[in-house]
Amino acid sequence: MNIFELRLADTTVSPSMIKVLRKYFPNTPIGELKRTIESNDVIFSCSGGSYDGKKSMIKIIQSLNREGIQIKLCEQTDSNTYPLTIKELQSFINRGGAIGKQVIEDIE
């Protein structure tokens, strides 16, 4: 099973990082968000098969980019970790949407 992971490139906490992360994780204490950033832990992950998870990840990335916050994406498999670009993530989303449309058409 593939897992997509999002981390921040910088481990120095800034107010803009906290602002963006609080938008998406309002129930997570600020102290926990700070520890996640400082320890370079994954801030968001989703299954490779989760269309909604990948769309949520793109929204988080876009918000971080608007604030000038650099990110690191990777794809975790059972045996390896591979770097992932935003363009590749978007391709996965587009492909999933196309497959979903085709399935609906086939059912009808």
pTM of the model: 0.81
pLDDT digits (tens, 9 = 90+) for 29-81: 999 999 999 999 999 999 877 878 888 999 999 999 999 999 999 998 888 88
Q: Give residue 2's pLDDT.
A: 87
The span from the CA of 75 to the CA of 79, in Å, is 11
Q: What letters, b where the CB count within 10 A reaches 16 and e where it falls short, cover 32-62?
A: ebeebbeeeeebbebeeeebebbeebbebbe
For 11, residues 6+ apart whose C-beta sits below 8 A from its C-beta are 37, 38, 39, 40
| Amino acid at position 46, single letter | C
Per cent of the chain over pLDDT 90 is 57
Mean pLDDT of all residues belonging to the chain: 88
Secondary structure (3-state) at 63: helix
User: pLDDT exceeding 70 applies to what percent of the chain?
Assistant: 87
